[in-house]
A and B are shown apart, each in its own frame.
Chain A
Amino acid sequence: MSGTLYMAGQHLRFFKVRSAILVLGLTLTIALPVASHLIISKYGDALKSRADSTPYVLGMRGNRFDLVLKALYFGDAQIDAITMEDVNQVDRSDWATTIALHLQHTAKGRPIVGVSETYFDFRKLSAHHPNIRMELGDVVAGAVVAEELNLSVGDRILSDRQTLYDITGQNPVNLKIIGVLKPTGTADDRVLFATLETVWLLDGLMHGHPNAKHAGTEDPHRQGIAYHEVTPENRSSFHLHAYPAEIPVSAAIVIPKSEKGATILEARYENKESLQLQNCAQVVDEILSMVVQIKTFFDAYYLFVLIATLLFVGLIVALSTQLRKPELDTIRHIGASRWFTVRLQATELLMIVAMAGVLSLAVTFIGLQIADHFLLVG
């Protein structure tokens, strides 16, 4: 090992605390902007990719961001429901096909998404267990939900009670896991899928109960007797208590059959008072442009922090050179060149920068993992 490298290493080792503070300071200065840039890029790419593959979303007129985020990424925003009739109208127009979505309920805190059967094909979702065919009372778990809740095919999961203190509210339903989806790295991993009918069951719009004669009562509705689990034996007893036209859905994905169809539908819904048809890519672009504006602010902030940190490092080097003058004079007196002492200090600085670089990579990597786990919703 060369003299400068060895002596620089010994110097950093001996003054551990000072070295550690410098390394940590530089690490934060490097890692924060890099990690935030990567996370925002990844977040943006994930949002964009899902938006690009989803042409339009139909929903109740209101905040377009909430509607798109809810329909694409199953976010927490509350949106008003539309009806199945609204969705069927689009289907009947023959300009587009639709996939209805209904998100009102959760099970162990994870969203239960009621979907039309075509949703899995549309999103190219496949399960570990082949031939998934959801029936009433069945759910298919996303990969992350299954892993986190340790769910497998055949297990049951109880839907969450929506209003804890409302004893007249709908009771939780025991749902059966009939499949676990392969991981996709998208929002589909973090939800439970069910049929629309199953979600209506959770809404209280459907229920099943024993035949009046079997129950020994004249009116089982009045008695409040209802099944809380769908089984092959009682499945046929479930029925809907609502007019089909009034059945609610949160939103619908609209897939135009042609450009012409898309244009006509856009025009048709542009002035509708109660409904809105949103182009997902445009809405997500708007969201991302806002994120980019905020990011620009942070980039400027990080730049100032970087400049300030570099000035501080320069100050520390200058002060350190002054403090070390006797040491450096001794080294030169013994026979080292001025270049050797410059090299010695430069090597120390480079080692600190290198350690900060490596640590920054680690911090960035961990940051990305955490972001993957908690933030990414693509």
Chain B
Amino acid sequence: MIQFTNVEFTYPDHTFGLTIQNLSIIDGERVAIVGPSGSGKTTLVKLMSGALIQQRGTIISCDTKLTNLNDRALRQFRLKRIGFVFQEFALLDYLNVRDNILLPCRLGAEPMSPEARDRAEALARSVGLHRHLDRYPQKLSFGERQRVAICRAIVTSPSIVLADEPTGNLDGTTADEVISILDDCVQQSGATLIVVTHNLELTNRFDRTIDVSEFAAAYT
């Protein structure tokens, strides 16, 4: 579960902030976060993952009060409990598909083991990438790259998957396909799925939609 209580966050330059009195997302829920550009969607996601720390209030994520964690513990929390999917795919060019999927393991989320490799290959198979395991991202289409990114996000079976505009760089058909894959993968793992999107057509696929603009606190 993710619980925001009386949270206030402001960027150091005071240009933008969020004020959230109460926000709960239950385990296994699929939530779409929408809002106009600059309304704080990415900020909200970063607060959920502990990448940004609020000035006031409490955020509890996966039964962990994030403000109680030091930097090292926060990194471990992100590494082990949260899977990320980025708009720009953010794959490492010099790692092949297999190694990109296993990146969280290489970074220490769990030891590199034959089981982890098997899991990576099974995931790749489930999204139709098993023939591309030894290929490098530059040789893949955008849709294939985002599928790799999805596999990387869920390879360590995280509790929460945060996807920041995962379809932003994809055409309509591919975007639909990627969301379906993301949805399927996350449902199988039982994780909570939080997707930031501009595409309102996609929101009907989710259990709930949160419009972040209602939390925005603009500064001048």
Contacts and interface: CB of A to CB of B under 8 A. Distances in A.
Interface of A: 3, 6-7, 10-11, 13-15, 326-327, 330-331, 333-337, 340
Contacts of A330: 86, 90, 92
B100 to A, nearest CB: 10
Nearest to A332: B75
A335 B88 contact: no
B106 interface: yes
A13 B95 CA distance: 10
Contacts of A326: 88, 90
A333 B94 contact: no
A98 to B, nearest CB: 73
Interface stretch (B30-38, B76-84, B123-131, B181-189): B76-84
B51 interface: yes
B93 A337 contact: no
Nearest to B75: A335
Given A10-B99, A326-B88, A330-B86, A335 B94 contact: no
27 contacts: A3-B107, A6-B99, A7-B106, A10-B94, A10-B99, A11-B94, A13-B94, A327-B90, A327-B93, A330-B92, A331-B92, A331-B107, A333-B51, A333-B86, A333-B90, A334-B79, A334-B103, A334-B104, A335-B75, A335-B78, A335-B79, A335-B80, A335-B104, A336-B75, A336-B107, A337-B71, A337-B72
A6 B112 CA distance: 11
Given A334-B84, A335-B109, A14 B93 contact: yes
Shortest Cβ-Cβ A-B pairs, 8 listed: A335-B79, A14-B94, A3-B106, A330-B90, A335-B78, A336-B107, A11-B94, A335-B75
A333 B84 contact: yes
Contacts of B72: 337
B108 interface: yes
B160 to A, nearest CB: 13
Contacts of A6: 99, 106
B136 interface: yes
Given A334-B104, A335-B78, 15 more contacts: A3-B107, A6-B99, A10-B95, A10-B99, A13-B94, A331-B92, A333-B84, A333-B86, A334-B107, A335-B75, A335-B77, A335-B104, A336-B107, A337-B71, A337-B75
Contacts of A15: 94
Given A327-B92, A330-B86, A333-B51, A14 B136 contact: yes
The A contact surface, by secondary structure, is helix
A11 B100 CA distance: 12
A335 B51 CA distance: 9
A336 B92 CA distance: 14
Contacts, number: 59
A3 B106 CA distance: 5
A335 B76 contact: yes
Contacts of A333: 51, 78, 84, 86, 90
A340 B80 CA distance: 16
Contacts of A335: 75-80, 104, 107-109
Nearest to B103: A334
Contacts of B80: 335
B45 to A, nearest CB: 11
Contacts of B136: 14
Contacts of B71: 337
B157 to A, nearest CB: 15
A376 to B, nearest CB: 46
Nearest to A12: B94
Nearest to A337: B75
Nearest to A8: B94
Given A14-B136, A334-B107, A335-B109, A7 B78 contact: no
B21 to A, nearest CB: 28
Contacts of B107: 3, 331, 334-336, 340
Contacts of A336: 75, 79, 107-108
Contacts of B75: 335-337
Nearest to A336: B107
Contacts of A331: 92, 103, 107
Nearest to B51: A333
Contacts of A11: 94
Contacts of A13: 94
A7 B95 contact: yes
B93 A3 contact: no
A74 B1 CA distance: 91
B137 to A, nearest CB: 11
A122 to B, nearest CB: 65
Contacts of B112: 3
Nearest to B81: A335
